[in-house]
Structure 1
Amino acid sequence: MKIKTTPLSDTPLSEITRCFNEAFSDYFVKFNATEEYLRTRWKGARVDYNLSFGYFVDGHMRGFIMHGIDFHEGRLTAFNCATGIEPPYRGKGILGEIYKTAIAALKKHGVQSSLLEVISINKKAIRAYEKTGFKIRNGLLHCFKNQPKINIETNKEIKFYKTKNPDYKKYKPFRDYAPTWEMTSKAFAVFPGEFDFWEMKLKDELIGYLIIAPKTGLVQQFAINKKYRKKGFGKMLFQNTVNNYENIRVNNVPESAEATVGFLKSTGMENHIDQYEMVM
């Protein structure tokens, strides 16, 4: 039996997709990924296939780690945007073997930090990552689903605009928390056409914004100017979203962002799953 761990730069995406779907066939969240879905998602996550690794048994890929590489919080960081081991090959220390190769390559590349997200009830994965050297940081990241149920009359002075020139510097002071890796302006810059950027104005003043992926309904970022909160403007912003999109979801809201968590629950959205961010 021939075993090797090697970069994925020369591995066809079709083989990576096959292994991905097999590895996630019994996962908490059901996947049936297409090549196009993974190509698009991983391009947005800034995946470097030279620093992503597969575990091969007799020439067949049985496990993998996909790494996005970019500066994050001032440090060159590797973001593990997908890890998978096919079910028959689990419990054999394969994740540790892949990481031995990956860590050496990342250090050689000058990477200073590694980051990942893991579902909070996936205790086996958390233990495996901890053995590799990762530690949980901060608290839970809440994920919400279900179409918001909002019935509010929009202030006639409120106007909504879709813009092709989002002003992230203006948006930043509105936020209560920093967006996670795949929801930053760097991700949007890769595929600007994949996102809709909404601005909410009272007369001519920007008081809120929302960024959404229309194909999936996943809200990437949203916020209301702090001085305009508790006046119903958040619900007006989401009413506009409900009027234009289906299957709305919001991911990775820190439990410390209590106002945002409370707001989403007040719209009828369900906190259906939680994640941890882990760092090494």
Structure 2
Amino acid sequence: MSYQLINCRALQAPQLCAAMNAAFSDYVVPLSLTADKFTDFQKQRGFSADHSFVAMSGTEIAAFWFSSPPLSAYQNCAYTLSVGTLPAYRRKGLSRQLLDKVIERQKSDAGRGLQLEVITTNEKAVKAYEKSGFETRRTLRVCRISEKRPVSIPRARFPLETFSVDQLPDDESAFFDTRPTPQNSRAALRALREQTRVLGLRLDGIVVGWGASYEDGSVAQIAVRRDFRRRGIGRALLDGLSAATRTDQLTFVNVDTAAKGVNAFLDRIGVEDRIHQSEMKLMFQD
């Protein structure tokens, strides 16, 4: 059987969404995104129709590789949003063929590499990416906390303000120990600004911390300036986000395990680990 490899410019979001749902339909927790949620997924992760490719079997999508353009904030590496093959078309080498098309397109725009995340226990996928040249660069934590669970940090009261994304400090170096993954980046917050809640704290007119979460309670960023940590500011920000998103459960996706400050904080407030992911990178040869 022959397949046509094309970019996604002529394809609409509902068709791409249906293909992604079908590709992950036989997972332990099947994916079931609505068209609107898929559109948010595209915006948040920087989807580019020009840099994303599908393998077509007639009029049906058999496999896909969704990608962003090269990202200057990540050394001109592009972010892979999702890779999948529909069950009937697996073990035909389609992902490898799509990867070649993606690399070719990225290089034409001075892209230097690709990065993606994969669940650490998905050994088959990890090995497949390694075979294609990807290397693990860091381990990411996915965890959650419920307001019903006891916490060891006393709740402190601070005068939190509602911020716009554009009010956040341009220089994040005093707040983050490691760079957020693309889906939690400043660009992602801007892309979903209408669905994002940002709360911040100023002391003596200086921004000393902020928290940002999406509508579903997923915390994109929790940042406290290093010289203001261990004062209950992080806990206050989470309380505020929980109230603002009207949920009693907050989820933290892709927390770098090497970020000592935020991980120590999460452990103190009693988070429950869900999974770990490997951030893998493929750097192109010059």
TM-score scaled by structure 1? Answer: 0.90
Q: CA separation in 2, counterparts of 1:145 and 1:108? A: 40
Indicate the SS of the match to 1:230: coil
Quick check: 2:143–2:275 contact (8 Å CA) kept in 1? yes
Following the alignment from structure 2 to structure 1, what is the Cα–Cα distance between the partners of residues 207 and 110?
Answer: 40
State yes or no: 1:178 paired with 2:179: yes
When residues 13 and 204 of structure 1 are mapped into structure 2, their CA distance, relative to the original with a 3 A threshold, is closer
Residues 138-153 of structure 1: matches in 2 within 5 Å?
A: 138=138, 140-148=139-147, 149=149, 150=151, 152-153=154-155
Q: Give 1:249's aligned residue.
A: 251
Check conservation: 1:119, 1:276, Cα contact below 8 A: yes
Residues 1:29 and 1:226: Cα distance change in structure 2 (over 3 Å): farther
* Corresponding position: 1:168 with 2:169: yes
Identify the residue that residue 104 of structure 2 maps to in structure 1.
104
Shift of 1:170: 5.4
In structure 2, distance between residues paired with 1:72 and 1:141? 22
CA distance in 1, matches of 2:54, 2:219: 31
Question: Could you say if the C-alpha distance between residues 44 and 153 of structure 1 is closer, same or farther in structure 2, counting changes exceeding 3 Å?
Answer: closer
Letter in 2 for 1:142: R
Does structure 1 residue 263 correspond to structure 2 residue 265? yes
In structure 2, C-alpha distance between the alignment counterparts of 1:12 and 1:244, rounded to whole Å: 33
Asked whether the equivalents of residues 213 and 220 of structure 2 are also in contact (C-alpha less than 8 Å), the reply is yes
Q: Encode CA deviations 1:172-195: one digit per residue, 9 max, x unaligned.
A: 412222111111111222232221
Separation of aligned partners in 2, 1:270 and 1:209:
22
User: Equivalent residues in 2 for 1:118-137 (5 A)?
Assistant: 118-137=118-137
Indicate conservation of the 8 Å contact 2:54/2:98, yes or no: yes
Match of 1:83 in 2: 83
Q: Match for residue 197 of structure 2?
A: 196
AA matched with 1:146: I
TM-superposed CA distance for 1:233, in Å, is 2.5
CA contact (8 A) 1:199 1:206 kept: yes
2:39 is paired with a residue of what secondary structure?
A: helix
> How far apart, in 2, do the equivalents of 1:115 and 1:271 lie?
23
Q: 3-state DSSP class of the match of 2:19?
A: helix
Query: CA contact under 8 A between 1:152 and 1:239: conserved in structure 2?
Result: no
2:113 alignment counterpart = 113
CA displacement at 1:105 relative to structure 2: 2.3
What percent identity do the matched residue pairs reach? 23
Bigger Cα displacement from structure 2, 223-232 vs 62-71: 223-232
Alignment of 1:32-111 (within 5 A): 32-73=32-73, 75-111=75-111
Listed as ranges, the gaps of 5+ residues in structure 2 are none
Amino acid paired to 1:195? T
CA distance in 2, matches of 1:141, 1:174: 18
CA contact (8 A) 2:199 2:240 kept: no
Aligned twin of 1:159: 159
Cα distance in 2 between the residues matched to 1:180 and 1:105: 22
In the other structure, the counterpart of 2:236 is: 236
Residues 232-268 of structure 1, C-alpha deviation per residue, up to 9 Å, x if partnerless?
Answer: 2322222222333313111111111233223213223
Aligned-pair distance for 1:230? 2.0
Q: 1:168 to 1:30 in 2, by over 3 A?
A: farther
The one-letter code of the counterpart of 2:186 is S
* RMSD of aligned alpha carbons: 2.0
| One-letter amino acid of the structure 2 residue matched with residue 196 of structure 1 | R
Change in CA separation of 1:137 and 1:189 when aligned onto 2, cut-off 3 Å: same
| CA distance, structure 2, for counterparts of residue 277 and residue 110 of structure 1 | 22
